[in-house]
Amino acid sequence: MKKIFSLLILCISILIFSQEGINFQQTSFKEILAKAKAEKKIVFIDAYASWCGPCKLMEKNVFPLKSVADYYNSNFINARFDMEKGEGPQLAMKYGIRSYPSFLFLNGDGEVVLKNMGYMGEEDFLTIAKEANNPKYATSSNKELFEKGEKDPEFLLNMMRLYADNDYDLAKKVSERYFEVKKNDPLTKDDLGMLLYFLKSPNDPNYKVFVNKKAEIITLMSEDIYKQFDANIKISKILETSLDQKTGVINDAYFYKNAIPLIGKDDAETALNRMKVLFYPTVSNYTGYEKAALEYYKNSDSFDTEELIKAAWIFSEHVSNRVSLKKAEEWAEKAVMKSETAENTYILAKLYAETGNKDNAKMYAEIAKNLAVTQGKDATLATKLLETLK
């Protein structure tokens, strides 16, 4: 009798435990949206892949937490989709999901309210949920709220991010309202990035912000970089017309002829190299990119290490000249000195391997692997690199 009673208690415990955690709906995407619309709730979607380590850690460590389950189950219609099976690939394409895990918060019309990604702990995961859980998002689209004159800075910032890639003109209008609302507030580094992204001409309303807040901006970037951006803005039309969209080739002679009278030879050269650094990777012109990047980043101390590590990564993937790779090593070393992340240390290890510094390559590949495991990230690349260094 005792054995039967113990077994019964065990079964009940298992049943209760299995019901803990976020309650993910097992139904189609269309039905999930319909339910959200009927209940005037936001949809939360965990977009994952079966091979993704951080996705499994979220499922194991975060989704079962009582605080998380209580909040998500009370406020959202929750669903999970493997992005490589069933409806997953279609959803990944629709919402531009390229890394896992990705977290989507949608209204009943399927419009993105908030989007985030990567492994996060209890506090951060609840923070994004509370940000998304605004009743107005459940009953109106972002565009409707914007057209009605919504001025909440967090709403405007999120809307800029959501539409930056698929509706640039709308996102630019949102940015203009955002910086008008925030005109008396200090600029953050993220604000500056948004300001520069949506600033294409001296005629743009945001150009006044760029000029009026120069003193603030040069505390976030060097004055030399500020001057470069200012020059680029002033000659943006010349940059645009110097590019042959069909061939992806930039006409240097045309550019210099029209830009030098406006901003001078030195600034024109810098602006042209910057354009090449930004544009050539998008058309796979890595020979042109290599030459421009070596010139543009020659005074690497003037640049943010995030920009340098991106250049170092492109060199590690597409450049074979040893002298150029040694220069990329320097950029990666600066980035690692500032922030030792799994990504930065892997790129440095890869460059060391390509320049023949096997000992350093092994050391930093090990660091990259250990950091990835510790942070719940994918350690596959570092592991594969270590195998080639045996």
Please check whether residue 311 is in contact with residue 328, taking contact to mean a CB–CB distance below 8 angstroms: yes
- Distance (Å, whole) CA 2 – CA 23: 34
- C-alpha 140/C-alpha 355 separation (Å) is 56
Nearest to 174 by CA among 147, 200, 202, 209: 147
Q: Among 32, 33, 49, 52, which one carries the catalytic annotation?
A: 52
Report the 10 Å Cβ neighbour count for 73.
Answer: 15
Phi and psi at residue 76, to the nearest 5° = -130, 160
User: What is d(CA 99, CA 47) in angstroms, rounded to the nearest whole number?
Assistant: 9
**Type of residue found at 29:** F
Say whether 11 is catalytic.
Answer: no
CA atoms within 13 A on the CB side of 98: 1
Q: How far apart are CA 238 and CA 259, in angstroms?
A: 7
Q: Are strands 249-250 and 112-117 parallel, antiparallel or unpaired?
A: unpaired
Give catalytic status of residue 55 as yes or no: yes
Q: Let me know: does 61 contact 119? Beta carbons within 8 Å.
A: no
* CB distance 97 to 48 below 8 Å: no
Do strands 42-48 and 24-25 pair parallel, antiparallel, or not at all (unpaired)?
Answer: unpaired
CA separation for the pair 121, 317 (Å, rounded): 33
**Which residues make Cβ contacts (< 8 Å) with residue 184, sequence separation at least 6?**
none
Q: Are 125 and 95 in contact (CB under 8 A)?
A: no
Of 361, 387, 379, 375, nearest in space to 119 by CA? 375
Residue of 36, 42, 45, 55 marked active site = 55
> Is there a contact between 288 and 280 (Cβ–Cβ < 8 Å)?
yes
Catalytic residues: 52, 55
